[in-house]
Structure 1
Amino acid sequence: MCEKKQSTLDRIMAEGKKEFLDKGFKDASLRNIVKSAGVTTGAFYGYFSDKKALFEALVDPAVKGFKEQFIAVHKAFEQLPRDVKMRVAYDDSSPHQKELITYIYDHFDAFKLLISCAEGTAYADFINSLVETEVAATLDFIRDTGCDALISGRASPEMLHILSSAYFAAVFEIVVHDMPKSAADNYIENIRIFFTAGWKSILYL
């Protein structure tokens, strides 16, 4: 791509991000984006079919990267022998949570768009998609380790969904409230301690 075209694209994406962060996807104005970027509507359509396509370009790389890491963590855990799973399920030394939080801060604006501005797009379901993955992994863990949480009635699939939803909602408060990274690290550690205690009481680990 020539320098002029790249510059035009960069301006459109920069002004689009500002407009979406300021007004949210639903209320964002394509006219304002084009005007602020100093380009014509025709120039905009040379890059994006509509504002949904622009929003996707701003958030999709971060979504894909996060989900790839998230799923990779679960797949690696699935491959562990049963006794190892039991031992490391809530291993305090695991680096994975910290890596995911670092990833969020490395792409903070994209996650701000995802968590606070995505209503009206397919990305509004982002957190729920993580919850579904987490619940499926927890059910696999219960089955693979012989845990009796479901049989005994201490847990149910619905309860697992509610607890997982609460966990991810708590995690992404760091984005909602624009927490500095140092404050977020401390907050997330406290969230981990809180939820770990609850899960251990349910799963008897």
Structure 2
Amino acid sequence: MTKRLARANITSVMNDERRKQTEQKLIRSGRAEFLEKGYAKANLRDICKAAGVTTGAFYFSFENKEALLAAILEPVIADYQRMCSVFAKREEDDPGTADDNERQMMEYLSAHRTEAIILMEKSAGSRYEGFKSQIDMQMQSAFTSYFSKFMGVSPDAELIRILVSMRL
């Protein structure tokens, strides 16, 4: 490898590392801004100022404010949906796992408290504002499946709606 090629490779690695650090700063600042003000009222200039970067640097990392929100929420959403799927199947196969499933879900949500609050209460104006309704529909489906399996009949839809609305 020539010296010029080696230097170019090192420069590229350094630039990648700097870009990743900038993205992490923006994610931390964005998380705080979205939690405080909600997505709709969050200001990119304030996010950039708190991160110590220019708005130009922001646009090297993220297309727009919603792309930043996605970087914050998508990993949590993916984990949450995977856990719900695994836990629903596990609980349907063995109802005795319910308490452990709930404990694990509460631990996960506690560890990702900020993201959960942003997602469920502070995402108005973004593509995530309907996520709470999606959760309700998934829970209705899970309750219906569970009741059908263990009671042998389809439960009353109004009962399912009430159970979902009562969840913590």
Q: Same fold (TM over 0.5)?
A: yes
In the other structure, the counterpart of 1:96 is: 101
Shift of 1:124: 2.3
Q: Do the aligned partners of 2:91 and 2:98 also contact (CA within 8 Å) in 1?
A: no
Q: Secondary structure at the match of 1:73?
A: helix
Question: Is residue 105 from structure 1 mapped to residue 119 from structure 2 by the alignment?
Answer: no
In 1, Cα distance between the equivalents of 2:44 and 2:98?
Answer: 47
Q: Secondary structure at the match of 2:99?
A: coil
Q: Do the aligned partners of 2:25 and 2:51 also contact (CA within 8 Å) in 1?
A: yes
1:140-168 Cα shifts (integer Å, max 9, x gaps): 23333344574xxxxx213312320221x
In 2, Cα distance between the equivalents of 1:10 and 1:160?
Answer: 41
Question: Is residue 157 from structure 1 mapped to residue 154 from structure 2 by the alignment?
Answer: no
Question: Unmatched 5+ residue regions in structure 1?
Answer: 151-155, 172-205
Shift of 1:34: 1.9
Q: Secondary structure at the match of 1:129?
A: helix
Which amino acid letter does the alignment assign opposite residue 64 of structure 1?
A
Q: How does 1:56-205 map to 2 (within 5 A)?
A: 56-78=70-92, 80=93, 88=95, 91=96, 94-148=99-153, 150=155, 156-167=156-167, 171=168
In 2, Cα distance between the equivalents of 1:94 and 1:119?
Answer: 32
In the other structure, the counterpart of 2:69 is: 55
Shift of 1:126: 2.5
Question: Unmatched 5+ residue regions in structure 2?
Answer: 1-12
Shift of 1:59: 1.3
RMSD: 2.2
Q: Secondary structure at the match of 1:122?
A: coil
Aligned CA distance change for structure 1 residues 140 and 112 (closer, same or farther; 3 Å): closer
Percent of aligned pairs sharing the same letter: 27
Q: Which has the larger radius of gyration?
A: 2
In 1, Cα distance between the equivalents of 2:118 and 2:82?
Answer: 19
Q: Secondary structure at the match of 1:123?
A: coil
In 2, Cα distance between the equivalents of 1:67 and 1:31?
Answer: 32
Shift of 1:102: 0.4
Q: Secondary structure at the match of 1:124?
A: coil
In the other structure, the counterpart of 1:28 is: 42
Q: Do the aligned partners of 1:135 and 1:164 also contact (CA within 8 Å) in 2?
A: yes
Task: State the TM-score, normalizing by the size of structure 1.
Answer: 0.66
Q: Do the aligned partners of 1:132 and 1:161 also contact (CA within 8 Å) in 2?
A: no
Question: Is residue 44 from structure 1 mapped to residue 61 from structure 2 by the alignment?
Answer: no
Aligned CA distance change for structure 1 residues 9 and 108 (closer, same or farther; 3 Å): same
Task: State the TM-score, normalizing by the size of structure 2.
Answer: 0.79
